[in-house]
A and B are shown apart, each in its own frame.
Chain A
Amino acid sequence: MTYRTLIPATLAILLSTMAANAREITFTTELKNYGGDGAYVALYLTNEAGQYQQTLWIAGEKSKYYKHLSGWARGSGQRSSEYDSLTGASVAAGKTMTVTLDLADSLIDSGHQVRVDTAVEDMRDNRYDVVVPLTTEGVGQTTAGRGYVQSFSYSF
Chain B
Amino acid sequence: MKIVQMTALMVTFLISTAVLADDDCTDPVADWQPQENLRQLMIDNGWDVKRIKVDDGCYEVKGFDQDGHRVEAKFSPATLEIRELEIKFTGSGSRSAYLKKYKGPQQSMDNKNAKKRPKVNIQ
Given contacts A62-B30, A81-B37, contact A86 B117 (CB under 8 A): yes
Are the C-beta atoms of A56 and B37 separated by less than 8 Å? Answer: no
Give Cα A117–Cα B109 distance, bound, in whole angstroms: 27
Using a CB-CB cutoff of 8 Å, which residues 67-81 of chain B contact chain A?
none
On whether the beta carbons of A102 and B116 are closer than 8 Å, the reply is: yes
- Comparing A2-10, A88-96, A106-114, A135-143, the segment that makes contact with chain B is A88-96
Q: Are B118 and A101 in contact (CB under 8 A)?
A: yes
Binary CB contact string for chain A from 116 to 136 against chain B (1 if under 8 A, 0 otherwise): 000000000000000000000
**CB <8 Å contact, B120 and A85:** no
- Say whether A98 faces chain B, with CB atoms less than 8 Å apart: yes
Bound CA–CA A58/B116 (angstroms) = 14
Residues of B within 8 A of A100 (CB): 118-121
- Residues on B with C-beta less than 8 A from A89 are 122
Nearest residue, chain A, Cβ from B122 = A97
Residues of B within 8 A of A (CB): 30-31, 33, 37, 109-110, 113-114, 116-123
> What are some 12 contacts across the A-B interface (CB < 8 A)?
A56-B118, A59-B120, A85-B117, A86-B117, A89-B122, A91-B122, A95-B123, A97-B122, A98-B121, A99-B119, A101-B119, A102-B116
